[in-house]
Each structure stands twice: as structure tokens, then as C-alpha cells.
A and B are shown apart, each in its own frame.
Chain A
Amino acid sequence: MALIPSLKLSKSVWWAGILLVVGIYLFAQRPMPLVDGESAGRTIPVEKMFRIIAAENDAARGMYTKDIVGAGMKTGLEFSEKWREADVAAGPLPALFLREAATSIQKSRVPLGLFLGSDFPIAQSNNFVSTQAERFKMMRVSPKPQFFYAPDTKLQAAMFADFAVAPGCVTCHNEHPKSPKIDWKLGDMMGATTWSYPKDKVTLDEMVQIIAAYRGGVVDAYEAYLAKAAKFSKPPEVGDRWPKDGYFLPSKDVFVKEFERRASGNTINMLLQANRPPKLPG
């Protein structure tokens, strides 16, 4: 401050100068501002996003459960909770297929969480407690999706009913020695998927990335199964044919194409509905 009197400028001029410099440093539009977490453009409420991705999951899970596990068990393919063990010649059970996909999604940069639980789970660690247990009780009365916010993780969450879609779901759960419930029937609500995401709305860009991350997860899960199947002492033939035709598995491309055929139409329709432009007045 010793310089101030020597330049014979008043303190207020100095302060104004300093503020100006700081203002320019902090507010001038050069350099380019860092990209904000949320880009401009149309957005979709997170509930809608959850509905779209849950429908994708229904398509993938239904296809794997019925057309790979259900049909495969009739033609000699085996599925086990210990499928990752080197000496077990089996593929992942539907619940574990979903977990494989969930793990893969976590490895992407998309912060989408996917979990599977129940009020009668085979593994007790999948038992619903607290908020999820309360919400699942409501779903037992009416199996509508539940949406809520988890304040401690700052995550939006959604729960969607998970039904017994194939006879294999029922027999496997009823016959499993650790199953706490042994009278499941086809069509029963056996549990729920829980989804989480850190924002209450997503841009179209983010929506596309979320769908891509989910589909990437499904592909990774199926590829892991194919890699394991290739190590069986009697590996199934991998190509165009499905387990309903015999001891076969569809290749990754065939599996993905069929999944896309089943899921894409619905996803596009839901996206269009979510982005319907407002009508002109009058």
C-alpha cells in the first residue's frame, strides 16, 4: 500500500481498479466457460426416463428368461448361481444376468443404478428394507411403479415390479433350498427392480446415453455368457439358431438384433410421447 500515496491516486480509485481486474478475470467471456453439467435443450422428467429404461429392461430380461434360459433348459443348457466358477458348465440365471448388466452400466460414465430385490429373496442380502420395503408393500397392493428421492445419496429412485414371466422362474425359486417362499406361481410379482439417477430431469442427449449404456450392459452380460459357454466341455453351437431349436445359442449379433427389434419400437414411441411439442394457442 506504500505505492498508493506515491502515485497520488485515491484509495477508492485503487479499489475500483482492483475490482475491475477481478471482475474481468472472473466474468469476461474469454476463455470459453467450462461446460455446465446440464446442457440446454428439451428435457425429460426422470420418471419418464425410468419408465423408458424399465421397458427396455423388460424386453431384455423377458427375452433372456424365456428364449435363452427357459428354452435352453429343455435342450440341455444349464444355468446356475455359481456360473462364474471355472468348473461349473452353466450360464447366468436371469437375476444374475441382470446383475451382470448392472455392473457393466456402472463401468460406463452414465450414473444409472440398477438393482434387483424382493421381499422373499433367495439371497438375504437382496431383501428390501426401510423405504424400499414400504414402497414394495404398496406395490403388492397395486403393482404400479414407485418413484421417490433418496436424500442421503441425492439420487432419484424408481421401483418397477418384476414378474414371474417363465415357468423356469417359478420352479427354480420354489425348488431352491434357500428360498424362503416355495409357492410361487406364473405371473406372480416376485420382486422389483430399483433404478437410480442423480437428476430429476434428463436432456435428450443424456437419455440417448442412458439407453446406450443400458444396452451396452445387456450386450456385455450376454458376451460374458458366450465366453463362458465357449469353455464348456461340450460347447453349444453359436450362430443364427436359438435354444428352442436345440443345443444352440444365438451369436451376440443375433441376440442384439432380436433385442433391438423387441425394444426399439416401444422406446421410440415413449420418447416421442415425452417430447410432444406444445400445441399452438387457438
Chain B
Amino acid sequence: MNLWRKVKSMTHEGKLKAACYFFGTVVGLMGCVTVVMANWQHIYAKGPANTGHAKLNCIDCHVESAGTVRQQAQAKVRFWLGMRTADVEFGHAKVGNQQCDACHSRDQDSHPVHRFLEPRFKEARAELGVQLCLSCHREHTGVRSTLPETACSFCHKDLKLKVDPLDVPHHLLIEKNDWASCLGCHDYHNNHRRNVQKLVKEAYSPAVIKAYMDGGPSPYGTDKKYPTKEAK
């Protein structure tokens, strides 16, 4: 009650100040609690987790950089001054293919990201960043894939098949720029046990593929050659 009386006796400016201190303290405490409580980390993520990533903790992907803040600061300044050859990252390291590989590593992949480091994929690297998982699976977007539907054109526009298994030859689909149809038959990473369609009419529609990309059910089935590992 004393506190209430004290507040009542305050000037208008004093009350405003006290309110600011109060709210500042509450917001600050909430921030501290959020940082400490691993389960609340999603509150300060920059967007919703992608499909299948809801149970991941921030540190599963955002790995801490080596060393203390001071070591990192020293190394950074030394790098700027040309006193060391390798730059360092503050706080948390940039998320790279290695973090994705920890759960999604496959012995067989029809489009493994490392393959795109070969010089001849320069155009696809420049346009799509295909050498990085995150270019097509941009995290915190709440979807499965952000791959543009014309992506296949960068490497397959000159495709000529000596033996074409499809009823409508591939080159005709390419001539029509029908790039949205590719994923109707071909699973990009070829990680599902299934038979690829040989009739265009049996291909999954672009709408079904779009729904899958957005996080919907897989038209390719659920029998995966290399199932995703659970994050530790």
C-alpha cells in the first residue's frame, strides 16, 4: 500500500518514468527467460520452422563458433589487419550444408549439392545457388522447399535423350518451356522408392507438386531410400 501511495504522490513525469522502468524491466526479464528456456526459442526465430523442423532447437543448426567472444574479436581484428589468413564468425557460425547433412545425408542422391561445385555448373550456381541446401530450402519460411519451378532449365535446357522412355518426348516439353512438369515425374533428390511415370497424363499436376513444396503430403510416397535422421 505504501508503494501505491508513493506512486499516487508522484508527479506526472515521475509516473511516466516509473511506468517506463516497470515495462522495461518486464520486457528485459521476458527476453532473458526466452533466451534461457530452450523450448521458447521459436519465439525469436525469424520465421516459422520449415516442414519437419518444428522440433529442432536453434543450436541444432546454429552451431556456436569456436572460441570465446574475446578470442573471436581478436581473430577478427587480426584478419582485418592481415595478421591471419582465415576469417572467423562471431557468436554462431553460418548455417551450411554440413548442418543439413547431419540429418539428411544420403549415399545416393540424383542432385547432391556438392556436385554443383564443379566448374561447369557456374550458371546454376549464379542463378540458384544450387551448391547450397539453403538456396532451395530457405529456412524459417514454414514450407518444405523454395525451389523455383523453372530451376531445372538451368542445367537441362539442352537435354537430348537417345532413348526417351516418355510417351511425349522430353525435348517437346522443353520446347514448350513446360518446366513445371519435371517434378511431376522426377523426385529431385530421387530419395523415394517408386517407378517414374512413362505417360505424361500420369504425372502429378503442378498444383500437387506446389502443395508438396509448401509442406503438404508427398505425391512420391513415403517409402524413402534414406530416411531423415532424428536430430540429437
Main secondary structure of the interface of A (DSSP, over half): mixed
Residue among A26, A155, A196 having the largest count of chain B Cβ atoms under 10 Å: A26
CB pair A31 B71 closer than 8 Å: yes
CB pair A33 B75 closer than 8 Å: yes
A212 within 8 A of B: no
CB pair A177 B119 closer than 8 Å: no
User: Interface digits, B197-224 against A, CB 8 Å rule (1 contact, 0 not)?
Assistant: 0000000000000000000000000000
Number of chain B interface residues as a range: 35 or more
Give the contacting residue for B74; candidates A26, A100, A196; CB below 8 A: A26
Give the contacting residue for A27; candidates B68, B74, B85, B105; CB below 8 A: B74
In the complex, what residues of B have CB within 8 A of residue A179's CB?
A: 162
In the complex, what residues of B have CB within 8 A of residue A128's CB?
A: 120
Interfacial residues of chain B within 67-115, with CB under 8 A of chain A in the complex: 67-68, 70-75, 77-78, 84-86, 88, 101, 105, 107-109, 112, 114-115
CB pair A32 B71 closer than 8 Å: yes
How far apart are A272's CB and chain B's nearest CB, in angstroms?
27
CB pair A107 B88 closer than 8 Å: no
CB pair A115 B160 closer than 8 Å: no
B125 within 8 A of A: yes
CB pair B119 A27 closer than 8 Å: no
In the complex, what residues of A have CB within 8 A of residue B112's CB?
A: 103, 106
B145 within 8 A of A: no
In the complex, what residues of B have CB within 8 A of residue A36's CB?
A: 84-86
Interfacial residues of chain A within 96-144, with CB under 8 A of chain B in the complex: 100, 102-103, 106-107, 113, 115, 117, 124-125, 128-133
How far apart are A205's CB and chain B's nearest CB, in angstroms?
15
Bound-state Cα–Cα, A132 to B84, Å? 33
Instruction: Name the residue on A nearest B112 (C-beta).
Output: A103
How far apart are A46's CB and chain B's nearest CB, in angstroms?
15
Bound-state Cα–Cα, A196 to B115, Å? 11
In the complex, what residues of A have CB within 8 A of residue B73's CB?
A: 25-26
CB pair A37 B119 closer than 8 Å: no
Give the contacting residue for A153; candidates B66, B117, B155, B162; CB below 8 A: B117
Instruction: Name the residue on B nearest A221 (C-beta).
Output: B107
User: Interface digits, A173-184 against B, CB 8 Å rule (1 contact, 0 not)?
Assistant: 000011110000
- Given A34-B88, A103-B107, A124-B159, answer yes or no on A131-B71 (Cβ-Cβ < 8 Å): no
How far apart are A218's CB and chain B's nearest CB, in angstroms?
15
CB pair B70 A31 closer than 8 Å: yes
- Given A34-B66, A34-B88, answer yes or no on A150-B119 (Cβ-Cβ < 8 Å): yes
CB pair B118 A196 closer than 8 Å: yes
- Given A27-B77, A103-B112, A177-B162, answer yes or no on A34-B71 (Cβ-Cβ < 8 Å): yes
CB pair A34 B67 closer than 8 Å: yes
Bound-state Cα–Cα, A155 to B122, Å? 12
A257 within 8 A of B: no
How far apart are B194's CB and chain A's nearest CB, in angstroms?
12
In the complex, what residues of B have CB within 8 A of residue A35's CB?
A: 66
CB pair A177 B163 closer than 8 Å: yes
Give the contacting residue for B77; candidates A26, A125, A155, A194; CB below 8 A: A26
CB pair B118 A194 closer than 8 Å: yes
- Given A34-B88, A36-B86, answer yes or no on A157-B119 (Cβ-Cβ < 8 Å): yes
Give the contacting residue for B108; candidates A37, A84, A130, A194; CB below 8 A: A84
In the complex, what residues of A have CB within 8 A of residue B125's CB?
A: 152-153
In the complex, what residues of A have CB within 8 A of residue B109's CB?
A: 103
In the complex, what residues of A have CB within 8 A of residue B72's CB?
A: 34
Bound-state Cα–Cα, A70 to B84, Å? 51
In the complex, what residues of A have CB within 8 A of residue B114's CB?
A: 102-103, 106, 113
In the complex, what residues of B have CB within 8 A of residue A150's CB?
A: 119, 122
Interfacial residues of chain B within 130-146, with CB under 8 A of chain A in the complex: 131
In the complex, what residues of B have CB within 8 A of residue A100's CB?
A: 107
In the complex, what residues of A have CB within 8 A of residue B163's CB?
A: 177-178
- Give 8 closest A-B pairs by Cβ, nearest first: A37-B86, A106-B114, A115-B118, A34-B75, A38-B85, A36-B84, A129-B120, A34-B67
- Known contacts A132-B118, A180-B162; can you find 6 more A-B pairs with CB under 8 A? A34-B75, A106-B112, A115-B115, A150-B119, A152-B122, A178-B162
Chain B residues with a Cβ under 8 A of chain A: 66-68, 70-75, 77-78, 84-86, 88, 101, 105, 107-109, 112, 114-115, 117-120, 122, 125-126, 131, 155-156, 158-163
8 inter-chain pairs at a CB distance below 8 angstroms, sorted by A residue, are A31-B70, A107-B101, A115-B118, A130-B120, A133-B120, A152-B125, A194-B119, A196-B119
